[in-house]
Amino acid sequence: MASWPIFSNSVEARYFASLVPLVNCLRLVINGFSLVTDEGLVKSVTREGNPGELLRGPLYYVLMLILCAVVFWRESPTGVISVAMMCGGDGIADIIGRSFGSQKLPYNQRKSWAGSISMFAFGFLVSIGMLQYFSALGYFQLDWIGTIQKVALISLVATVVESLPITEVIDDNISVPLVSMLTASLTFGS
């Protein structure tokens, strides 16, 4: 019988899994350029209801998901942590920061202590939770004392980078996962 890519041990599995963010990438591009108009997508994913917004944060988000799936898949803690920091950490920073972020950071008046502290804590917890899940499934074995220390460092580095006033230069849906990949690769060696 042909080895269907859905068998997750196959080489093709990572590419098959990447089809989901890829389809969403195409949705974002065709709606972002107004080739079609999906009002629900625009309203749910943009801030001002401008379709062009789809071509920035949301598009970078799904491109990073594809990158993590194809390059790191589930064989390395690096991809897992990078997704956790972007989806969990950066995501909660927005929510908490908007609601409770009255105390702004001294070097960036657009970001707050509440947002950054929540990014560090939630990014750390989601990363550890996902690593435990993938480890329980047998994809990799980790020394948990060392792992906790490494993930804390990765969360700190990603949180500091996210807090910097560089969003106009590089979107944090690019900077956060990339700096997480770099730090995780250096600390985990993979």
Ligand X SMILES: C/C(=C\COP(=O)(O)O)CCC[C@H](C)CCC[C@H](C)CCCC(C)C
Out of 45, 67, 151, 184, point to the residue binding ligand X (CB under 6 A): 45
Contacts 24+ apart (CB under 8 A), 165-170: 165/107, 165/108, 165/110, 165/111, 167/110
Structure tokens at 158: 């990603």
Residue closer to ligand X (CB basis): 3 or 132? 132
| Cβ–Cβ under 8 Å, residues 119 and 92 | yes
Q: Is 92 in the site for ligand X (CB under 6 A)?
A: no
Q: What is the smallest separation between the CB atom of 166 and ligand X, expressed in angstroms?
A: 14
Using the CB atoms, write b or e for 30-69: b if 16+ within 10 Å. Answer: ebbeeeeeeeebbeebbeeeebebbeebbbbbbbbbbbbb
Query: What does 163 bind: ligand CDP, ligand X, none (CB cut-off 5 to 8 Å by kind)?
Result: ligand CDP
**Count of residues in the chain:** 190
Out of 88, 115, 123, 177, point to the residue binding ligand CDP (CB under 6 A): 115
Q: Is 37 in the site for ligand CDP (CB under 6 A)?
A: no
Query: What does 65 bind: ligand X, ligand CDP, none (CB cut-off 5 to 8 Å by kind)?
Result: ligand X
Positions in the binding site for ligand CDP (CB under 6 A): 57, 90, 93-94, 97-98, 101, 110-112, 115-116, 119, 162-163, 167, 172
